[in-house]
Structure 1
């Protein structure tokens, strides 16, 4: 089977992460406003646990900024709505780079000494049944030879690191988790007293690209946005050309 078109994938969520070498304080810094241009509608702070979060509407979904000790996560997720469909943000080709521009504005507003960055994405490819989901998933793994009709509950994890083209001496981990997935939606009410169950079949991919954990050198301020964008570009390449070194 040829690789599915990227336009056929739906984005469950995307994440941008930055990690410092010391505790990070976000409360009162205006990070949310720098990222979104608006005020958050929810703020939760736990100083004793070194945790802080802010959230609110963003694009077609919701955004949450989560700060825990030395780590900052920006998570873009869909708004759950009643109905038989599985929530998503939309087409993967549009959503995967959706944080880049806002992230650049946030990074330009602050000089926190981050040493690592990471990008995550959860993607779904709708299928008619388990076998079609298997075929779509295996198309990304040309080094695996198997009959898609024989497998159930398949799960594969790979990591093909590459040198960073942005950070001198840096290495980018390129982790992918590919699986065959089934979601069941229970419909209560309607014309009968008995709930109905509707099954949805997918190929599912979780991407986690990051600079390596052994990096201790601060990412230069003028390279932070570019270093993150490199991860996004590599993730899109994996979904366009397959998982390979």
Structure 2
């Protein structure tokens, strides 16, 4: 990061769709020749910038309509739920659909590593004074169920992974749903 970077901007790897496409293609190729596995997972953290916490809570409420959020009288909201589904790829396989919803704040800071020699009472952490950035935050953890003792069918790994990715896309688009 250089001094010229806009520290008020939330950093990311890009749009969800673009990152998902690139990552999925790479993983699908790798899964064709990967070692045996008993569990497979896919995760993502999505951020949607908002003006402030209240507007963030209003936006999160659209993604989790079953939860009533008081945008003015609430702080530190975090909603987590696992809504398992049966796999459409492998009969009898349960897939976990864990999602976490919140509003995150990002405050740029600068800090000094080590002890300043010339000014020993100088603080080690300095507030940058940059703009506080807020964002709706959705975190997904989609996986095959824990506790399975047998290996997953190797020839099905790319299809299972693609199903996990599709479930993540569904949550990103529609929010929390059974």
Q: TM-score range by the shorter chain?
A: 0.7 to 0.9
Q: Which residue of structure 2 aligns with residue 161 of structure 1?
A: 84
Q: Which residue of structure 2 aligns with residue 207 of structure 1?
A: 140
Q: Which residue of structure 1 aligns with residue 20 of structure 2?
A: 96
CA contact (8 A) 1:118 1:209 kept: yes
Q: Which residue of structure 2 aligns with residue 237 of structure 1?
A: 170
Task: Map residues 3-14 of structure 1 onto 2, 5 A cutoff.
Answer: none
Task: Map residues 72-151 of structure 1 onto 2, 5 A cutoff.
Answer: 82-84=5-7, 85-110=9-34, 112-151=35-74
User: Cα distance, 1:226 vs. partner?
Assistant: 0.6
- The structure having more radius of gyration, on CA atoms, is 2
Corresponding residue SS for 1:87: coil
Q: Distance in 2 between matches of 1:150 and 1:221?
A: 50
1:179 aligns with one of 84, 102, 105: 102
CA contact (8 A) 1:97 1:232 kept: no
CA separation of 1:90 and 1:195: change in aligned 2, threshold 3 A: closer
Which is bigger in relative contact order (C-alpha 8 A, separation at least 6)?
2
Aligned residues: 160
The alignment's TM-score, normalised by the length of structure 2, stands at 0.82
Larger fraction in helix: 2
Q: Which residue of structure 2 aligns with residue 222 of structure 1?
A: 155
| 1:189-228 CA-partner distances (Å, limit 9, x unpaired) | xxxxx94232001111110010011112211121001101
Aligned-residue CA RMSD (Å): 1.9
